[in-house]
Amino acid sequence: MTEKSGKMTKLPNLRIIIVGCGKVGKTLVEQLSEEGHDITVIDKSVSKIEMITDSYDVMGLVGSGVDMSVLREAGVETADVLIAVTGSDEINLLCCTIAGKEGRDLAAIACVRNPEYSLELSYLREKLGLALVINPDLEAAREIARMISRPQALRINSFAKGNVELIQFAVPQGSVLNGRSLMTMNELIKDPFLLCAIERNGEVIIPSGRDELETDDVVTMMAPTRDVHKIFSSIGMKASALRSCMIIGGGKTSYYLAKQLLDQRMEVRIVETNKERADELGRLLPEAIVIHGNGSDESLLKEEGIYTVESFVAVTGIDEENILMSLYARNIPGLKTVTKINRITFNDVIEDLDLGSVVYPKHICAEEITAYVRARRNSIGSNVETLYHLFENRAEAVEFRIKGPNRVTGIPLISLPKKSGLLIACINRGGKIIIPRGQDTIEPGDSVIVVTTHTGFGDIEDILR
């Protein structure tokens, strides 16, 4: 397809090498293969390579990502991107360093989880010449912390360097929103906002002003970060800041999360089954209450105060335990619950369980890498700055940086021949946040956030018919 046709901009496929077929690697293969890239996957496990190559149209090599002969067989000399997401930080960094010396114009991306390394991510990126360094556990902890800061929200995504938030929440029974059309929402909410999408009975709707909200709708709203609390108050969903949290599981995500919550002066209790790890967390986080015990023990949870804390986060390494504990916690009135899902892929089943907020670290990591790949794929008119998949990949929120004049700039939004199934949700102009109306225009230098049921947008001109 060509630009003149007004359809999706035809961008070049990239040659991508993915080292590691774990949870993040498999998610990356799924997302990037759908976007048409030429992908080669490397892993030491024969069974993992066979599973990936049987399921997706990719090449697979059994071997080590730090073996130069394997990298050369994978085509590292001519590859555009190498992504190292094995379970070892050291292997990921070494793989990227070796590949960077061999590739001609290679962008190397490393997954790094160790808290000791996380303090030096910028240094590692600069000194090793990496395009991107990502810590899935740290990013998951940041997302959970945002959810706790907005207890009304099911999910929060941040754009425009944290100045704008895309928030999902369910319309409660008896809410002032029930039966209200979007065109009359300004009667309730005086601050700038935009309702971008509605999920109802499994269907995702990009709404018009005539659409009305119903009980249990999952609504996606865009608003400046500073105004979100006032907006929730306007619709009768005011909630005071939470002051306490119980975290089940003492892994890396738990450590990062507890550190952030303690910095916000919250009371933090951590329940960890391994005594050695519990003792270590007690030393690392002296302000937290660390309990050695089994978080799936109902009597222990009661004894340690689950009925008195205001938020509950299940982040063990076992999805089934996280789900079970969150289902138990959901029976406690007013308790904010967050569940981490690492492995389980039965998304429809999980959605029907009413777990509250759910976090998928593998998706967080994959979305950031996919955004980078889309930006590298198109370096002419606009760059993809940020990307989030919504409603189990049935919609996307994409932030574009507008480099210069193009077919969407300088034209009132109402006059742009836009595709159906999308909204221009926000314009960031030099730090000024604009929730756009019909007469607003997109200008060079802006960053623009688009919410759409289309997938694969790599350029701002893809919004045009």
Structure tokens at 388: 């989030």
Find the CATH number of the domain harbouring 61.
Answer: 3.40.50.720
> What are the pLDDT digits (tens) for 132-152?
899 989 999 999 999 998 888
> What are the pLDDT digits (tens) for 31-42?
899 888 999 999
Residues 384 and 432 in one domain: yes
What pLDDT was estimated at residue 5? Answer: 35
- Determine the average pLDDT of the residues in 121-134: 84
Distance CA 440, CA 424 (A): 11
Residues 54 and 123 in one domain: yes
Residues 249 and 331 in one domain: yes
Residues 352 and 397 in one domain: no
The residue among 106, 134, 162 that closes a domain is 134
The residue among 359, 392, 416 that closes a domain is 359
- Determine the average pLDDT of the residues in 223-249: 90
This prediction has a pTM of 0.85
Residues 38 and 90 in one domain: yes
Residues 248 and 322 in one domain: yes
184 inside domain: no
Share of the chain above pLDDT 90, in %: 67
Distance CA 329, CA 333 (A): 9
Residue numbers of the domain that contains 273: 244-359
217 inside domain: no
398 inside domain: yes
Burial class (CB in 10 A: 0-12, 13-18, 19+), 333: exposed
DSSP output for 333-358: TT-EEEEE-SS---HHHHHHT--SEE
210 inside domain: no
228 inside domain: no
Residues present in the chain in total: 465
Query: For residue 458, is pLDDT > 90?
Result: no
Residues 300 and 327 in one domain: yes
The residue among 359, 389, 414 that closes a domain is 359
Please answer whether residues 207 and 222 qualify as being in contact, where contact means their C-beta atoms are separated by less than 8 angstroms. Answer: no
Residues 385 and 454 in one domain: yes
180 inside domain: no
277 inside domain: yes
- Going by DSSP bridges, is the β-strand pair 336-340/311-314 parallel, antiparallel, or unpaired? parallel
How do the residues of the chain divide into helix, strand and coil, expressed in percent and rounded to 5? 35, 25, 40
Strands (E), 28-78: 38-43, 59-62
Please answer whether residues 40 and 103 qualify as being in contact, where contact means their C-beta atoms are separated by less than 8 angstroms. Answer: no
Number of structural domains, the chain? Answer: 3
Find the CATH number of the domain harbouring 401.
Answer: 3.30.70.1450
91 inside domain: yes
Residues 314 and 248 in one domain: yes
> What are the pLDDT digits (tens) for 277-330?
999 999 999 999 999 999 999 999 999 999 999 999 999 999 999 999 999 999
Residues 345 and 389 in one domain: no
